[in-house]
């Protein structure tokens, strides 16, 4: 069983957000997938299972299964393209807990796609995800104190995460949140965002999810499904660029189209390998 480590939403190794991608050869039990994710100890491990021209896709943090993950989906599509399991000109169709998702070569990269299997190095991939707008809501008790934020511009509740909008990029960069306090809140994670002062982005963000085993996620595709509707309305433009200002950092291009968000970025494989016999599910281990 092949497994890969991929840096997503970056064009170079050791940037962006690392994800593991496990190519399943048969259905696997959730408990086994959770054990593999805990062993990999990355923010997300994706499990990709072929199914009649489509792929079942599930994502696990080291502590829990999640319903939507952008960077591990980008990493999964990258692996399928890079290994030639998907042709670079096709649209990859995933079935997930968040419904159908797709991945394809971004329009800006279409000229680089050749007729041969596999993908050119550095191919930009575009994901089609559901929009997850946040609804204006007062901050959860203890949220602002845990973040160390005095006066947010706006707060809202999303499907899984809480959105906190503050005034300046520098405030986002300088956050030193109380992660133990954030872990006690009734939300998967907290997105903190502000207008960008850098010239190559429209907004910046950081994402904290200690409740599901991810203290700070380097680059979070699913968070941008909430960020895109907010900033599109505020800025008055449907195509935007977000920069997630973690220590590793990463760029996510977003395009809002009604109730869908297109997320575009690049990915780089940094490690490939195979699970040993001892690590395989019991039903797949070779017998003596």
CA angle 156–162–164, rounded 5-degree value: 65
Q: To the nearest 10°, report the CA torsion of 175, 179, 183, 185.
A: -40
Q: What is the largest CA-CA distance in the chain?
A: 65
CA distance 208 to 82: 31
* Long-range contact set of residues 36-40: C-beta below 8 Å, sequence gap at least 24: 36/60, 36/275, 36/279, 37/61, 37/62, 38/62, 38/63, 39/279, 40/3, 40/5
Look up tokens 């792929």; give the residue. 55
Active-site residues: which are they? 44
CA distance 5 to 264: 19
Q: Which residues of 171-183 are buried (b: 16+ CB within 10 A; e: fewer)?
A: bbeebebeeeebe
Query: In angstroms, what is the C-alpha Rg of the chain?
Result: 19
- Count of Cβ atoms closer than 10 Å to residue 27 Cβ: 11
CA distance 115 to 111: 11
């Amino acid at each position: 069983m092949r497994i890969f480590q991929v840096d997503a939403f970056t064009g170079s190794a050791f940037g962006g957000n690392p994800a593991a991608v496990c190519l399943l050869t048969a259905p696997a039990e959730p408990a086994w997938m959770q054990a593999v994710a805990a062993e990999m100890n990355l923010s997300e491990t994706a499990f990709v299972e072929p199914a009649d021209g489509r792929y079942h896709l599930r994502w696990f943090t080291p502590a829990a299964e999640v319903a939507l993950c952008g960077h591990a989906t980008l990493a999964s599509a990258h692996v399928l393209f890079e290994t030639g399991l998907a042709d670079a000109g096709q649209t990859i169709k995933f079935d997930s807990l968040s419904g159908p998702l797709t991945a394809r070569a971004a329009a800006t990269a279409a000229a680089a796609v050749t007729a041969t299997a596999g993908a050119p190095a550095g191919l930009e991939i575009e994901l089609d995800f559901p929009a997850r707008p946040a609804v204006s809501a007062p901050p959860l008790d203890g949220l602002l104190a845990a973040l160390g934020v005095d006066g947010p511009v706006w707060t809202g509740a999303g499907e899984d995460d809480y959105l906190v909008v503050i005034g300046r990029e520098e405030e986002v960069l300088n956050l030193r949140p109380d992660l133990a306090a954030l872990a006690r809140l009734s939300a998967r994670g907290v997105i903190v965002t502000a207008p960008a002062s850098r010239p190559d982005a429209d907004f910046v963000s950081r994402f904290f999810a200690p409740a599901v085993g991810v203290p700070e996620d380097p680059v979070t595709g699913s968070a941008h499904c909430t960020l895109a509707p907010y900033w599109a309305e505020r800025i008055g433009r449907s195509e935007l660029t977000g920069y997630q200002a973690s220590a590793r950092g990463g760029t996510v291009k977003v395009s809002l189209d009604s109730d869908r968000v297109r997320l575009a970025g690049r990915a780089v494989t940094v490690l490939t390998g195979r699970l040993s016999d001892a690590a395989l599910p019991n039903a797949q281990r070779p017998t003596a």
